[in-house]
Amino acid sequence: MSGVITVGFGQCGCSVVDELLAQLYEAEKCEDLFFQGKYTPRSILVDTESKAVDACVRSRRPWSYNPANLHVLGQGGAGNNWAHGYCLGGAGQVVLDSVRREVERCDRLDSICLVSSAAGGTGSGLGCRLTEEIRDMIPRALLMNSVVCPYNVGEVAVQNYNSALSLANLLEVSDGVLLIENEKVNKTCTSLLKIAQPSFSDLNSVIAQHLSGSLLPSPDSHNMPSQLFAHLTGNPSYKFLTSRMVPSVPKQSIAFSNDSWAALNKRLFQMHISNATLESDIDWSVTFAPTSRSVRAPNKSLANVLTLHGDDSKEALIQPEACLFDHASLYPTWSDRAMFCHRPQRFNAQSRSSTLLSNSQAAILPLDVVTSRGQNMFTSRAYAHQYLRFGLELDDFSFAFSRLEQALFDYREL
């Protein structure tokens, strides 16, 4: 039986993994993939403070963590410093031992999903270091990193340094990096779910929905998470992924929602071509004429994975609105285009829902924000001394920015 191992780094990563496992547990026929038996997840939690790990252990779940897979490295956190967190990875042999044990418990390892934040020091720095160590230990494993990008303003002063160093590092060692923007997650809660003041639990729930909607396999096919990510990141120069899902409605409105597959996929396709992360941001003025030979997609893609969740999802995959995602004009001539998956079970309490995992130019905006703002700070060497004291060099900053600039150039030239 195949197995997917989930690893959470830092407060954000541990909390998201805990919520992700709760959603995966509710999905039918997924216990053996994400859980050892029915009550022990194939999961490892790592932090530099005990608060987040303890909160996950105390959460009331029908399953419980293996105590040997809960790790607190050091004390007092990483001070929102990527270099500090990266140095703490030197004490991470106990984490690697946990990963090795979980791999050995799988009849066949499908993939390892690592979740972290890019803003602070633990998730970004420690997460990168241990991702490198896992890559060295299991070189043939498929590693997929889910990175929560910070708000544009308001988290920590050095968040763009941490994000740039984290993303540039993961670009070298990970097979795929799913970018999740806190700004968009918060807007989903306030604008679509009608939550006036979203809590961390609300934000984590939305993030976990994007992850679980992408990771759940088709029960009657071979579309496992490793195959989806391999399809999306076949070219090593393009590893940044984004996710979209419809519908997003308040819980109290679900009973009154009855969208057809055609309506859902039409909205999702319009979100994709107009580069809108939310349904409320759809630009309907962006047009796409599939019969035109000269059409150029506003949001060029390398590959997409469309997953439909619902009773009649298999039949919906051949509808014209779904087939649009495989139109040749959306892709370069050398790309793998679209993969289609379906699950007959309900997802997120919805009778019908669609998830799109995409490797496209949608990654440009979050990458550009991190790169440009980080470079502006680095020009005056602001806060750089705090990183140099932990062994980082100025050339490491320069390399990170140049690597991300190259990624931006590649995506813009699609």
Q: Which residues pair with 246 in a beta bridge?
A: 354
- Residue-wise pLDDT for 296-321, tens only, equals 567 899 999 999 998 888 899 999 99
Q: Which CATH number do you get for residue 346?
A: 3.30.1330.20
pLDDT value at position 347? Answer: 84
Q: Mark which of 218, 242, 266 sits at the end of a domain.
A: 242
- The count of structural domains within the chain is 3
**Within this chain, do residues 250 and 229 fall inside the same structural domain, yes or no?**
no
* 118 contacts 147 by C-beta, under 8 angstroms: yes
Q: Which two tokens stand for residue 32?
A: 């053996």
Residue 19's nearest CA partner among 59, 67, 68, 58 is 59
Q: Which residues pair with 47 in a beta bridge?
A: 72
- Residue-wise pLDDT for 336-375, tens only, equals 899 998 888 888 888 899 999 999 999 999 999 999 999 9
Q: Cis omega (within 30 of 0) on the bond before 247?
A: yes
pLDDT value at position 294? Answer: 45
**Within this chain, do residues 355 and 373 fall inside the same structural domain, yes or no?**
no
pTM: 0.94
3-class secondary-structure state, position 182? helix
User: DSSP per residue over 231-255, as a string?
Assistant: HHT-STT--EEEEEEE----GGGGG
Q: Which residues pair with 303 in a beta bridge?
A: 337, 359
Q: CB neighbours (10 Å) of residue 19?
A: 23
Cα 414 from Cα 132, distance rounded (Å): 29
Cα 187 from Cα 178, distance rounded (Å): 19
**Within this chain, do residues 300 and 237 fall inside the same structural domain, yes or no?**
no
Cα 58 from Cα 65, distance rounded (Å): 10
Q: Which residues pair with 307 in a beta bridge?
A: 341, 355
Q: CB neighbours (10 Å) of residue 247?
A: 19
**Within this chain, do residues 229 and 285 fall inside the same structural domain, yes or no?**
no
**Within this chain, do residues 124 and 81 fall inside the same structural domain, yes or no?**
yes
**Within this chain, do residues 268 and 348 fall inside the same structural domain, yes or no?**
yes
Cα 325 from Cα 273, distance rounded (Å): 10
**Within this chain, do residues 128 and 18 fall inside the same structural domain, yes or no?**
yes
Q: Which two tokens stand for residue 47?
A: 């932090």
**Within this chain, do residues 248 and 155 fall inside the same structural domain, yes or no?**
no
pLDDT value at position 296? Answer: 56
407: domain range? Answer: 365-412
* 121 contacts 80 by C-beta, under 8 angstroms: yes
Which residues, given as ranges, of the chain have pLDDT below 50? Answer: 293-295
Q: Which CATH number do you get for residue 150?
A: 3.40.50.1440
pLDDT value at position 344? Answer: 84
3-class secondary-structure state, position 115? strand
Q: Mark which of 317, 338, 360 sits at the end of a domain.
A: 360
**Within this chain, do residues 131 and 276 fall inside the same structural domain, yes or no?**
no
* Long-range contact set of residues 33-38: C-beta below 8 Å, sequence gap at least 24: 33/1, 33/2, 33/3, 33/4, 33/110, 33/217, 33/224, 34/3, 34/4, 34/6, 35/63, 36/3, 36/66, 36/102, 36/105, 38/63
**Within this chain, do residues 261 and 385 fall inside the same structural domain, yes or no?**
no
Judging by DSSP bridges, how do beta strands 352-360 and 301-310 pair with one another? Answer: antiparallel
* 20 contacts 206 by C-beta, under 8 angstroms: no
**Within this chain, do residues 222 and 140 fall inside the same structural domain, yes or no?**
yes
pLDDT value at position 348? Answer: 80
The 8-class DSSP code of residue 191 comes to: I
Q: Where is 145: in which H helix or E strand?
A: strand 143-149
pLDDT value at position 308? Answer: 93
3-class secondary-structure state, position 348? coil
**Within this chain, do residues 316 and 397 fall inside the same structural domain, yes or no?**
no
Rg of the chain over all Cα atoms, to the nearest angstrom: 20
Q: Mark which of 242, 258, 288 sits at the end of a domain.
A: 242
